[in-house]
Structure 1
Amino acid sequence: MSRIVRWARAEWGPLYTAAREPLKARRWRAAPMTLAAVCLTSATQIVQNQPWGYQPVQDLGAVRAEDPLGVALLRTPLSLFVPALDLPVWGALAQILVVFGIAELCLGWWRTLVIAYAATLAGTLYARVGIALGPHGPFGLPPSDALVVDTGPSAAVVGLAVFLGWRHRAYATAAAVIVVMAVEVALKGNLAGKEHLAAIVAVLALCGAAQARRRQRRPAEAVSSASVLPPSQSPTSRRGRAQRRSCR
């Protein structure tokens, strides 16, 4: 049992610590974007189930691969908060509340939105590429998928989960998310599953870019920190003193 506890602490401890501090300090005010997203998703669900509200929600937030690219890009921001009609809305709300909430606590609201929209946009663009490839290749899609309404937070949730796992060294969790999505594609091979994989690829690219940027910063920070040291504390002066003492 203690081995499992140690593994859990090593896997989720940094993530738990990063989320606990702002939540402890500000409570529900620490995640205003998440709360707004939950309210917006609830509102769109209520509106689109009204006789007068379905078409406006479709016009503003329903994305299909058959739509012109410009129209799809304009609808993509709202599409993230439009629950799929064939799925229970509580699932979308729970995903947003938990995953968006943890991401906002750990990353801040604007980084959370950037990653969420990057993942969603990757799925939206992949659908067009997959349909162009056709149904016979492993990455292709049937032409009928061009008519599928592509909305909901699932791609963003998957992307955020992978990014959080990488950022806070919960590598097993991030790997488990990737494996589950791959298994889903292997079993079903539907549009949603392949879009999730496209979202993961986009987020892994963001992780690689962030890691490269971090590596570039380290030498610059080392040089800047060395430059502010007084001459008596610089590494060069210490080596010089050591050499003079050895000569004596």
Structure 2
Amino acid sequence: MTVDVLGRWVRAEWGALYLAVRGAWVRRRWWAAPMAVGGVCLIGITQVVQNQSWGYPVVQDLGAVRAEDPLWLALLRTPLSLFVPALDLPVWGALAQVLIVFGIAEMCLGWLRTLVIAYVATLAGTLYARVGIALGPDNPFGLPASDARVVDTGPSAAVVGLAVFLGWRYGAYVTAGVVIAGMVVEVALEANLAGKEHLAAIVAVLVLCAVAAVRQRRSRARAGSASGAPPIQS
């Protein structure tokens, strides 16, 4: 692949996304992504607190989700669970994911849509865990009963969901496909709770993409009908 061909591919794949991010950054700088910056601060705070002898049970009570928990309790804890770093992963990974992916999404989609997509993706993973355990380990979509006690926190499901939605929204289809393929390979290599939750998040976000596409198609159809309507006679 020559440099010119590569350049054209990069512009076609990421050009629209780059222009959206650049425009928001030029206009408002860090104020274009206050939720992402706040999320990074919240992750830092929860990391410090949960490493204290007195703070660990507090963070667990407020933001640790397990499939064995009552559903109402898991739903209450899910919003904060996005910003509680997973104990078996480095905190810098969660910080980078939120700053970069949440920041780009917030600049392009706005804070409210970003938050909704992130929550839907995370909630899909949370609910899938219960379904997977009910199906059992013998089912290809199932999980072992021991996963009911696994603490499920971190922004990874939300990050994967946002990456897929951004890829669809701004025409970066190869990037979105690579993200999806990466999650499929992850599950193929190690069919653990986190990997399957990522796939559940992707499915939920793809449904959101389909709904948004239908709404856009209907809006364009209504706009075309309005522009082609005969003028009203006075």
TM-score normalised per structure 2: 0.96
The corresponding residue for 1:188 is 190
| Aligned with 1:129 (options 128, 131, 140) | 131
1:115-162 C-alpha deviation (Å, 9 max, x unpaired) = 000000000000000000000111000000000000000000000000
| Aligned with 2:21 (options 19, 22, 41) | 19
Q: Are 1:167 and 2:169 an aligned pair?
A: yes
Give the 5 Å matches for 1:87-166: 87-166=89-168
Q: Which has the larger radius of gyration?
A: 1
The corresponding residue for 2:60 is 58
Q: 1: distance between equivalents of 2:221 and 2:178? A: 34
Indicate the SS of the match to 2:139.
Answer: coil
Structure 1 residue runs of 4 or more that deviate by more than 4 Å after TM superposition: 227-231
1:30-89 C-alpha deviation (Å, 9 max, x unpaired) = 111111111111111111111111001100100000000000000000000000111100
Q: 1: distance between equivalents of 2:45 and 2:230? A: 55
Q: 1: distance between equivalents of 2:12 and 2:224? A: 29
Q: 1: distance between equivalents of 2:38 and 2:57? A: 23
2:179 is aligned with what amino acid?
V
The corresponding residue for 1:239 is none
* Unmatched segments (≥5 aa) in structure 1: 232-248
Q: Are 1:33 and 2:22 an aligned pair?
A: no
Indicate the SS of the match to 1:196.
Answer: helix
Identity of paired residues, percent? 71
* Unmatched segments (≥5 aa) in structure 2: none
The corresponding residue for 2:88 is 86
2:178 is aligned with what amino acid?
A
1:90-131 C-alpha deviation (Å, 9 max, x unpaired) = 000000000000000000000000000000000000000000
1:173-217 C-alpha deviation (Å, 9 max, x unpaired) = 000000000000000000000000000000000000000111111
Let me know the Cα RMSD of the aligned residues: 1.2
2:102 is aligned with what amino acid?
F
Q: Number of residues paired by the alignment?
A: 231
Q: Residues 60 and 220 of structure 1: is their aligned pair in 2 closer, same or farther, counting only changes over 3 Å? A: same
1:22 is aligned with what amino acid?
A
Q: 2: distance between equivalents of 1:150 and 1:140? A: 17
Q: Are 1:43 and 2:45 an aligned pair?
A: yes
Indicate the SS of the match to 1:83.
Answer: coil
Q: 2: distance between equivalents of 1:163 and 1:215? A: 17
Indicate the SS of the match to 1:178.
Answer: helix
Q: 1: distance between equivalents of 2:29 and 2:9? A: 28
Q: 2: distance between equivalents of 1:229 and 1:20? A: 41
| Cα offset, 1:5, TM superposition | 1.1
Q: 1: distance between equivalents of 2:217 and 2:72? A: 36
The corresponding residue for 1:209 is 211
